[in-house]
Amino acid sequence: MPGGPCAGTIRPMDDAPILICYDGSKDAARAIEAAAKLFGPRRAVVLDVGDPITPAESLATISPVAPAAAFEALNTDDAEQVAARGTELARSAGFEAEGRSIVDAPTWEAITDVANQLDAAVIVLGSRGLTGLREAAEGSVSHMVAKHAGRPVLIVPPPHDAH
């Protein structure tokens, strides 16, 4: 039977964009390379999620000279620049890529929200390879995305020699 019993319930992967999370790290660049090898040339959205206010900036906001809005504007500009660099990497890897940046927290939730808006075929992220106490203390964006995304997630680990 053409299309089978689930026809129409799942959009073909070729039509849906992939969402590539890029934070400027080597791990994120490695994720772009892996996605290019696995998915080939296709439409992609490269996303950087910046923090509205970093922990260091939150301390500075105690001063009347440094309002929180100024830091958020700086972080927005930084997120746009990071997304643009990631978009260029994705294009050089063969993707028809567009950049997107947002400033939001928590990062994992922002990623899943954008994936839902795009109806992304897959979310691609690099992993820092944290384990144990370090993972518990710093958190794992990739694990939280995988847990909450409700769609396929490709987590690209660091190379074996990185440990």
* Res. 34: pLDDT tops 80: yes
Enter the CATH code of domain 18-156. 3.40.50.620
Residues 93-133: tens digit of each pLDDT = 999 999 999 999 999 999 999 999 999 999 999 987 655 55
Three-state secondary structure call for residue 90 = helix
Domain ranges of the chain: 18-156
* Res. 139: pLDDT tops 70: no
The CA angle 21-27-29, to the nearest 5 degrees, is 65
User: Looking at the whole model, is its pTM more than 0.85?
Assistant: no
Residue 14 is classified by DSSP as T
